[in-house]
Amino acid sequence: MSSEPTGSAEPIRLRPRRACPICQAPSKQKYHPFCSARCADVDLHRWLGGAYAIPAEDPPDFEETTGPLETEGPQ
């Protein structure tokens, strides 16, 4: 009687659980990727609040190549 596999007794999960990004709790498919509507709402408010906003970076000083060059300097 050696039909039982040895080593892995746990069934293979096609969809591994992912932790809720808000509270790290196991997410539910209904509120994926969050664990509850509350966490989903929290995440939404974070976006609206600017917590996840991309930090504004000052654009590099582009040389005015498209416009007329200032050739006339102070004399």
Task: Please report, as ranges, the residues that interact with Zn ion according to CB under 5 A.
Answer: 20, 22-23, 25, 35, 39
Q: Cα separations (Å) of 63 from 66, 67, 71, 72, 73?
A: 8, 9, 13, 16, 17
In the complex with Zn ion, the residue whose CB is nearer, 2 or 29, is 29
Name the residue nearer to Zn ion (CB basis): 23 or 46. 23
Q: Judged by CB, which is closer to Zn ion: 24, or 48?
A: 24
Closest CB 39 distance from Zn ion, rounded Å: 3
Read off the DSSP letter of residue 31. G
What single letter denotes the amino acid at residue 50? G
